[in-house]
Amino acid sequence: MSEAFGTTGVTPQRAGQYHDMVQEAAAHPEAFWLQQARGLTWHKQPTHASRSDFSGDVTVEWFADGRLNASENCLDRHLSTQPDKPALIWEGQEDGQREVLTYQQLHARVCRLANLMRRLGVKKGECVAIHLPMVAEGVIAMLACARIGAIHVVLFGGFSAEGLAERLTDSGAVLVLTANSARRGEKRIPSKVTIDDAIVRCGQSSCVKHVLVVPVTDDVVSMQSGRDLDYAEAVSQEAPECPAESMSALDPLFLLYTSGSTGRPKGLVHSTGGYMVWAAFTHATVFDHKPTDVFWCTADISWITGHTYVVYGPLANGGTIMVYEGLPSWPQPGRWWDVIDRNGVTTFYTSPTVVRAAMREDEAVVRSRSLKSLRILGTVGEPISPEAWHWFHDEVGKGQCAVVDTWWQTETGGVMITAAANAITPRPGAASLPLPGVAATLLDAQGVEVTGAGEGLLCMAQSWPGQAMTIWQDHARYRQTYFTTCPNHYFTGDGARREADGYYWITGRVDDVVNVSGHRIGTAEIEDAIATDHEVVESAAVGIPHDLKGQGLVVFVVPREAGVFHPSAVNSAVSKGVGRYAVPEKIYVVRDLPKTRSGKIVRRLLRKIAAHDLEGLGDLSTLADPDIVSELIAAVKEQQ
C-alpha cells in the first residue's frame, strides 16, 4: 500500500468518485436515485424516485410505480453471468461441516421452498415467521418468501416463547420455519419446543397453519400431525423452478421487530424497491465491493444487519456470502479467524463487542493466524472506542485493511453514517460522514437546527430509499415515535456531536433504550416483564457502561413487602417475558424510585447512581422525595 495514503487505503480516484456522488445526490436527488435503481432488475422501471413527506401524516414512498422481485434480483439475474460462482459458503460449528452453494444451486433451493410454501397455501402479502439459527435454510427461507411475495418476519432464537407469541400474533404469521433444535457451543437450544409453546400462547389469535421443521441437529422432536412438516422431506418433492411474483416497489419485503423506549416491540415495515436499492447501493459503496470478495457479516439473520449485509446487499451485487453457525471462540479461541483463513474472507463485518472480546484473549491467538485474505473490516451496532478500532486495524487487519465503523438502525435499512472504505479517511471512534443522499442534521432540544460544530439530537431532514415505511398496522405510532420530537424530521433516538468539518460522533441513545452487546433492549419491555412478579411493586431498568458489552442492564426494584423478595423470580420473569439475553446484570432492591412530583421516574439519576457516577447529580429539589437519592446511593454501595 502506498505510503502517501497511509494505511486507510483511501485513493484519490475513489475519494473523487465518492465526493461526486455526494454532490450529485444532494443536487439532483431524483436523477441520482433513479440512476442507482437502474442497477437492479425491474419488471417495470420506476419513473420517479421519492414521494416522501415528513410533515402531516408522514409518507415514505420510493420508486412507487416500479415493479420488481427481490429474490430475482439476488439470484436469477446472476444465473446468466455466473451460475457456478459460490453464492453462499456455510460452515457449521462442528469440524468439517461445510457446504458451498453456487448461484444455480441456491436458486434451485429457494425455488423448491417457494413452491412448497405456495402449495401450503401461503399467499402474497401474508407473513411467514423464520426462527432458525445460522444455517443456509435461513437465507433460503427469506429469499423464498420474497419470491412469492410473502412478508418475512425473522425472529431471534433467543426470544422466549412469550416474546415469540407476541410477534406471531402481531404479524399474523401463517407459516413458521423453525429448527428441531439449534447448536450453541455445547448447548442445544430447543427451537421447536419453544415455537410449540409460543403457538399455544397465541391461543385463538394464532394464524399459524403450518410449521416447517429444519433438521439442524439429530434431535427428535414431536410433530403435530397436519400442522408440522419435515422441511427436508417436504422440499425434496418440489420443482427447482418457481416463477417470481411481480411486486410493487411499495409492497412490504419484510417486517422486523425492534424495541423502543415505550410499549411493546414494533414491527418496522421495509419496502421491496427502496430497501433493495439501499441494500445494494450501501453494500457496494461502504464496503468498496469487488466481484472477487467473500463477504462475511457475522450478524444473526434475525437482526437488520443480517438482513441487509448477510443476505440482500451482497447477493443483489452478485457477491459470495459467508454464513457461519458458531460462536467466535468455541470450541477454542480464534475459531472465527480460522473461518476467515479457511474461506478466504475478504470483508469481515462484525460488532465492537466481538472485537473487545478478542482483545482480551492472548495475543498469540490472533497473531498465529494469517488473515491475509482480509481487505476491509467493519463494525456496527455500538460505538467502537479508538483503542478497539486500532487493535482491529493493527491485529486483525495487520495494518493493511480499511476499517469502517458504520452507524445505522433497524429503521434505516442500511448504513447511514460511515467512512466509506477507501473513499473517506476514518477517524477512530467517529461514525464519520453521512452517505450520499443522507440528510443528517442535529437539532437542539427546542427543535432548532445546530449549525457547524456542535451537539444535538441526530435527525434526518429527508427520506432515503432504505427508510422503513411504517410500523406494521400502526402508522400513528410510527408518526408519533419518529416524527414528533423534531417536527418535519426523522428522529433517530440517538444524540451526536459534529465537528466543524462534518464528521459525526455518536454519543448514544437519548431515550430509554439500552444497547447490550449491540442488542437493542427497551427498558419498558423489561419493566413490563418484571411487573408479572407479584413480589415487586415497581421497577426501573437502566443501562450502565460495561467493559465488554458496551452497556450492561441494571434494574432497581421496589418490593411489595420489605424483606420479601427473590431476585431469581425477577430473573425468571425477564427470561420468560423477553428472553434470557435480557436478564439483568444486577438487581438493586430499594424502598422507592426517584420521581418527579408528577410521578415520572428520573432515570438519569438512576443511571448515574448505578454507574457510581455521583458528580453533578443535578437539581434534586424537583423530586417528590429528595431524600431517596442518598438512600439509593447507599443501597447500591451496600448491595454491590
* One-character DSSP codes across 318-354: T-EEEEE-S-TTSSSTTHHHHHHHHHT--EEEE-HHH
Our CA dihedral for 404, 407, 412, 413, rounded to 10 degrees, sits at 30
Residue 409 in the binding site for ligand PRX (CB under 6 A): yes
Q: How far is the CB of 198 from ligand PRX (least distance, A)?
A: 22
Residue 382 in the binding site for ligand PRX (CB under 6 A): yes
Q: For ligand PRX, which residue of 494, 512, 527, 533 counts as binding (CB under 6 A)?
A: 494
Q: Which stretch binds ligand PRX (CB under 6 A): 139-147, 172-180, 402-410, 449-457?
A: 402-410
The b/e string for 353-385 (b: 16+ C-beta within 10 A; e otherwise) is: bbbbbbbeeeeebbeebebebbbbbbbbbbbbe
Q: Which stretch binds ligand PRX (CB under 6 A): 31-39, 377-385, 439-447, 602-610?
A: 377-385
Q: Given the complex with ligand PRX, which of 174 and 430 has the nearer CB atom?
A: 430
Find all residues with CB under 8 Å of 536, minimum gap 6, and list them: 530, 557, 558, 559, 560, 565, 570
* Amino acid letter for position 112: R
Q: Which residue is nearest to ligand PRX (CB)?
A: 410
Within residues 610-639, the interface with ligand PRX by CB under 6 A covers: none
For 169, other C-beta atoms within 10 Å of its C-beta total 19
Q: For ligand PRX, which residue of 154, 340, 371, 506 counts as binding (CB under 6 A)?
A: 506
Q: Given the complex with ligand PRX, which of 595 and 603 has the nearer CB atom?
A: 603
188: which strand partners? 183
440-443 vs 454-460, strand pairing mode: antiparallel
Residue 381 in the binding site for ligand PRX (CB under 6 A): yes
484: which strand partners? none
| E-only strand ranges, 53-124 | 67-68, 86-91, 98-102
Q: Given the complex with ligand PRX, which of 137 and 411 has the nearer CB atom?
A: 411
Q: What are the start-end ranges of the H helices in 184-323?
A: 191-202, 231-236, 273-286, 304-306, 313-316
* Amino acid letter for position 537: V
Residue 305 in the binding site for ligand PRX (CB under 6 A): yes
User: For ligand PRX, what does the binding mask look like between residues 261 and 300, x meaning CB under 6 A?
Assistant: ----------------------------------------
User: For ligand PRX, what does the binding mask look like between residues 514 and 543, x meaning CB under 6 A?
Assistant: -x----x-----------------------
Q: For ligand PRX, which residue of 273, 306, 383, 434 counts as binding (CB under 6 A)?
A: 383
Q: Which stretch binds ligand PRX (CB under 6 A): 60-68, 178-186, 286-294, 405-413?
A: 405-413
Residue 405 in the binding site for ligand PRX (CB under 6 A): yes
Q: How many CA atoms lie within 13 A of 633 on its CB side?
A: 11
Alpha carbon distance 442, 417 (integer Å): 13
Q: What are phi and psi of 514, to 5 degrees?
A: -110, 140
Alpha carbon distance 62, 383 (integer Å): 30
For 206, other C-beta atoms within 10 Å of its C-beta total 18
User: For ligand PRX, what does the binding mask look like between residues 216 and 255, x meaning CB under 6 A?
Assistant: ----------------------------------------
* Contact by Cβ (8 Å): 255, 171: yes
Q: Given the complex with ligand PRX, which of 436 and 493 has the nearer CB atom?
A: 493
Residue 416 in the binding site for ligand PRX (CB under 6 A): no
Q: Which stretch binds ligand PRX (CB under 6 A): 11-19, 333-341, 378-386, 465-473?
A: 378-386
Q: For ligand PRX, which residue of 407, 482, 503, 504 counts as binding (CB under 6 A)?
A: 407
Q: What is the DSSP letter of 171?
A: H
Cα four-point dihedral sign 49, 54, 60, 61 = negative
Q: How far is the CB of 303 from ligand PRX (least distance, A)?
A: 6
Q: How far is the CB of 458 from ligand PRX (least distance, A)?
A: 8
Q: What is the DSSP letter of 76?
A: I
Q: Which stretch binds ligand PRX (CB under 6 A): 31-39, 57-65, 491-499, 594-602?
A: 491-499
Q: For ligand PRX, which residue of 324, 348, 392, 408 counts as binding (CB under 6 A)?
A: 408
Q: For ligand PRX, which residue of 258, 271, 320, 551 counts as binding (CB under 6 A)?
A: 258
Residue 509 in the binding site for ligand PRX (CB under 6 A): yes
Residue 410 in the binding site for ligand PRX (CB under 6 A): yes
Residue 503 in the binding site for ligand PRX (CB under 6 A): no
Find all residues with CB under 8 Å of 537, minimum gap 6, and list them: 558, 559, 560
Query: For the chain, how are helix, strand and coil distributed in percent, rounded to 5?
Result: 35, 25, 40
Residue 431 in the binding site for ligand PRX (CB under 6 A): yes
Q: Total residues contacting ligand PRX (rule CB under 6 A)?
A: 21
Residues at the interface with ligand PRX (CB under 6 A): 258, 304-305, 380-383, 405-410, 431, 492-494, 506, 509, 515, 520
